[in-house]
Amino acid sequence: MAGKKISSLDRVLGRLDTLDSVNMANLVQRLARERALFEEIFNTLQEGVLLISSEGVVEYANEAAHQLIGLPGDELTGRVLWRLVPELRSSLEGSLEGAGNKGAQPVLTRDFELAYPERRTVRLYMVPFQGGSGSARRFAVILTDITRDKEAAGRQIEDERISSILLLAGGVAHELGNPLNSLTIHLQLAARKLKKLKASPDSEALSESIRVCRDEVTRLDGIIRNFLEAIRPRPPNLVELNLADPLAEVLKVQRHEFADRGIAVEAESSGVLPPVLADRDQVKQVFFNLTKNALEAMQPGGRLKIKSRSDDSSVFLLFGDSGSGIRQEDLVRLFHPYHTTKPGGHGLGLMIVQRIMRAHGGQVAIESKEGVGTIVTLQFPRKDRRVKMLQS
């Protein structure tokens, strides 16, 4: 049927000079209806569709293309595409220049970053367009926003990588636990027997060696315990919670440690925080890990400033310290297991923070500058917002 309609229309167009005014008006109306139909179809697509010349001049763009590139209305038409999207110049311009060669059929696909009107990852697919008449070469360009897909794939790869590492290391940690327990027992027995001997310089030196060994065993046991806690997470027990309450509890427990180090703590709030659905103990673990990191990053006289605020969908807590800051090359690896910039650190604290925040549907972001300090931002979904999301 479609082939017959096209052939019929071609025959009519071929006799334009013989059509009377009535048939001409009918033909124009028919063409207008078909154009409107195709416009509506193309504008319902989520992918951006462009038709460009061999010089990159945009001849047609649907609504999705306007939204992706950030130009409303018909402002795309007549413009050179790579001048609007500079990220495309290196590949698109070269491909179009080669289109003039006889027999050349450039087909291009690539991913690129768009910074305007917002940062996104877009996949481009360009093929020669065979429609129309004349010798001018044209190309159809399809633009697909793959930002969410790329982010989801990145998270999945990261989760799988971490899971495989943790699974292997978990078995090693479990096997280390047994000999450490045995060492602890034998060191205790050695210390008791040593007490029964007469005091001598040699016995005092031996007692000090035993104490050092016990301290090291305790430290290793703590590393293993923290690690096993990180790789054996329990689902959060979600209850209605005002985040200011567990934060106050954590700061109360740590007040003496901050005072001993000469660190000032300031907690500010922009008003009564909306409730969230959260596990009280896990949230306290997050707060403790962050305040402990801040404490260890600062010298006496430093300051930890905690701010809280909310918007229509989230509750935010910002932990800002005046510490030494984090190097740019270390920022990208902060959430990797065993990556630490602190002497004696186990590199699991921030990984535990990220895991807990994800389990709560939240996010954690870190900004830092060497010699200035670090700001860690926690974003929790509000209770009313979370309930709406679950219902939808």
3-state secondary structure of 339: coil
Residue 282: other Cβ atoms inside 10 A: 23
Residue with tokens 């450490």: 180
In this predicted structure, what is the pLDDT of residue 123? Answer: 85
Distance separating alpha carbons of residues 245 and 273, to the nearest angstrom? 10
Distance separating alpha carbons of residues 244 and 309, to the nearest angstrom? 11
- Whether residue 352 contacts residue 230, with contact meaning beta carbons closer than 8 Å, is answered with yes
Query: Which is nearest to 111 in space by CA: 82, 83, 88?
Result: 88
Return the CATH fold of 151-231. Answer: Helix Hairpins (1.10.287)
46-145: CATH number: 3.30.450.20
Q: Considering just the CA atoms, what is the radius of gyration of the chain in Å?
A: 33
Tokens of 288: 């403790």
Please report, for residues 13, 80, 387, the alpha-carbon distance to residue 39 in angstroms, rounded to integers and kept in the order given: 21, 22, 39
pLDDT in tens, the chain (392 residues): 444 445 455 656 666 677 777 777 887 887 888 778 877 888 888 888 888 888 888 888 888 888 888 887 677 788 888 787 776 766 566 666 655 554 545 567 777 777 777 788 888 888 887 665 555 778 888 888 888 877 777 777 666 766 666 666 666 666 676 677 777 787 787 877 777 766 666 677 777 777 778 777 777 777 676 666 656 667 888 999 999 999 999 898 888 888 888 999 998 877 788 999 999 988 998 998 899 888 888 889 999 999 999 888 889 999 999 988 887 767 666 666 555 555 544 456 788 888 888 889 888 888 888 888 888 899 999 987 755 444 44
Helices 201-231 and 147-196: crossing angle in degrees, nearest 10, is: 150
| Per-domain boundaries in the chain | 1-44, 46-145, 151-231, 239-391
- Whether 46-145 shares its CATH topology with 151-231 is answered no
Query: Which is nearest to 71 in space by CA: 52, 85, 51?
Result: 85
Distance separating alpha carbons of residues 392 and 389, to the nearest angstrom? 5
3-state secondary structure of 103: coil
Question: Which residues share a beta bridge with 317?
Answer: 308, 378
Interacting residues of 219 by C-beta distance below 8 A, sequence separation 6+: 344
Query: Where is 392: in which H helix or E strand?
Result: none
- Whether residue 308 contacts residue 315, with contact meaning beta carbons closer than 8 Å, is answered with yes
One of 3.40.640.10, 3.30.565.10, 1.10.3720.10, 3.40.50.170 is the CATH number of 239-391, namely 3.30.565.10
Residue 72 half-sphere exposure toward CB, CA atoms < 13 A: 0
- Type of residue numbered 84: L
| CA 235 distance to own-chain centroid | 22
In this predicted structure, what is the pLDDT of residue 73? Answer: 66
Distance separating alpha carbons of residues 258 and 289, to the nearest angstrom? 14
Residue 152: other Cβ atoms inside 10 A: 11
- Whether residue 138 contacts residue 52, with contact meaning beta carbons closer than 8 Å, is answered with yes
